Structure 1
């Protein structure tokens, strides 16, 4: 399994970096929309949509994406685009509230949604803001987006190895038996080191950078656990099999759904100040 994970990563990482740094903004947005549609298809499978329902769901998602690209031609780094910045600010705030307040209760009670319309809306709530954040952060700077994604990947990798080596105390045994508190602590240590290095390199306030990194780590754990709960309720181990050793697209981006919209919020707050 580890060998497959590494081999897949060796293919995905260079491809991702090439597209991130070389593609024009429009083509990057289109590529990210295509990946989002794959993730939405996997979500539809978790929601037990029928084939026709999945097709309608994806068509509606595509329409939303195309309309958003047409209306969102503004760039968030341009100060005159205040309306877009305000919209993004409130969207980021709503995302943080959802993940920090509603999701912990959801995980504790393990609510199960059986209404397919609500599941469709939930899928949009999770994945469309992620798509928007991927596009907007890349417009700010490809390095900015990469920096936030590196934080999540470092946390995920550190949690995996720390949990495997030292894991004894289960984090959420009824949701994801493989995750441990030791893994979270390993992720916290690795992310803290990363935050210190970034703060020194970019000349950021050390305390603020550590606080923001800790918040994003907490959100990444929430995103990971939430998708694990949805898979468990659907009775599947992985959201798909597109990525050998990793499962589906959702399995790879689960932590990003909760962290990148919040990261965009942080950037907008900095710009407003």
Structure 2
């Protein structure tokens, strides 16, 4: 099959899995979110390991526990304590490495593990928690559809009309025209969804604006990582698309913003 066909089939499978998981919710959404989060975390640690040794096993175990605690409704105070304890475990590992091998990378190892958990696992934990709310299904459905609409419109408008680059040293193909197209796509999707789901439009328009801006910035975050380590993709787990972190980078910041607005500010 051609690269386009492979990419299309992989993309369709991803969409079906996400929409099915959001619709069913409960344990299916928890399992699906855990798989994506931990696969993305593994790819992040692989990128970080180009700079320094990183105890991937510690990060993956703690990441799995964090998502499980979020699913079980534990307070974030418990999760923060776990994050702190992870730092002490990592430092203990580095003490052992220094004693036995005469070398260590305590600061980088600790910061690498913690940054991965904060950057990737926490946002997916937010999605697990949001799905358990009475409005969670509609909210997550809208979040993903607006994010995908933003991605598609940004690509199409940028490819057709893009002339003004705004992050050339990070992602040369990104243009202001494409950025504006992505924002319009997300807003338009939010308005349509608010009408179809019979929801007051103002909160959904706010979500569309946040997703339209935040998602594109989130894409730049991951592009920055890849530029610094000199790779094209974060991984190869998704045929035609690269890695999980490549496909779900926009969701990380979007889920955080939506959790902040709908769970913290408007609750």
Specify the TM-score bucket, using the shorter chain as the normaliser: 0.7 to 0.9
SS at match of 2:241: coil
Question: Structure 1 residues 172, 62: closer, same or farther in 2, change over 3 A?
Answer: same
Q: Does 1:129 align with 2:131?
A: no
Aligned to 1:244: 239
After the TM superposition, which residues 24-173 of structure 1 pair with which residues of structure 2 at under 5 Å, given as runs? 25-48=26-49, 56-66=55-65, 69-70=68-69, 73-74=72-73, 84=75, 115-140=108-133, 141-173=136-168
Structure 1 residue 271: Cα displacement: 5.2
Aligned to 1:177: 172
For the residues of structure 2 that align with 1:87 and 1:176, how far apart are their CA atoms? Answer: 38
Structure 1 residue 71: Cα displacement: 6.8
- The Cα RMSD (Å) is 2.8
Q: 1:198 aligns with which of 175, 180, 193?
A: 193
8 Å Cα contact 1:243/1:249 also seen in 2 = yes
For the residues of structure 2 that align with 1:233 and 1:239, how far apart are their CA atoms? Answer: 12
Q: Deviation above 6 Å: which 4+ runs of structure 1?
A: 85-88
For the residues of structure 1 that align with 2:148 and 2:78, how far apart are their CA atoms? Answer: 28
TM-score (norm 2): 0.77
Gaps of 5+ in 1: 75-82, 89-113
Aligned to 1:103: none
Farther off after superposition, 209-218 or 189-198:
209-218
TM-score (norm 1): 0.76
Could you say which structure has the larger radius of gyration? Answer: 2
Aligned to 1:265: 260
For the residues of structure 1 that align with 2:48 and 2:151, how far apart are their CA atoms? Answer: 26
